């Protein structure tokens, strides 16, 4: 099983790119620093529950979706 930070990293990239957003845009929408988002997407750091909530809200997904492995690219409406 993958570590949760790796699952979050993969899901963040998938949901962000499905919307056509840059890291900077997602960071702005979520109210977090862009370098922190970069480290999250590289699975270098563990996200806090507050950060998970902010990212999920910005991406219009349930927080659990960021923690659940996905098998195919996310299909979401912008």
Tokens of 32: 């977090």
Question: Does residue 75 form part of some domain?
Answer: no
Question: Does residue 61 form part of some domain?
Answer: yes
Question: Does residue 48 form part of some domain?
Answer: yes
Q: Is the pLDDT of residue 23 over 90?
A: yes
Question: Does residue 77 form part of some domain?
Answer: no
Range of the domain at 24: 4-66
Give the burial class of 34: count Cβ atoms within 10 A of its Cβ; 0-12 exposed, 13-18 middle, 19 or more buried.
middle
Number of domains in the chain: 1
pLDDT tens track for 26-54: 999 999 999 999 999 999 999 999 999 99
What span, in angstroms and rounded, lies between the C-alpha atoms of 17 and 41?
12
CATH number for position 15: 1.10.260.40
Question: Does residue 78 form part of some domain?
Answer: no
């Amino acid at each position: 099983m993958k570590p949760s930070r790796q699952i979050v990293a993969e899901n963040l990239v998938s949901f962000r790119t499905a919307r056509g957003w840059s890291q900077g845009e997602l960071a702005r929408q979520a109210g977090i620093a862009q370098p922190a988002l970069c480290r999250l997407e590289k699975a270098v750091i563990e996200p806090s529950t507050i950060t998970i909530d902010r990212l999920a809200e910005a991406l219009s997904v349930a927080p659990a979706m960021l923690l659940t492995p996905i098998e195919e690219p996310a299909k979401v409406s912008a």
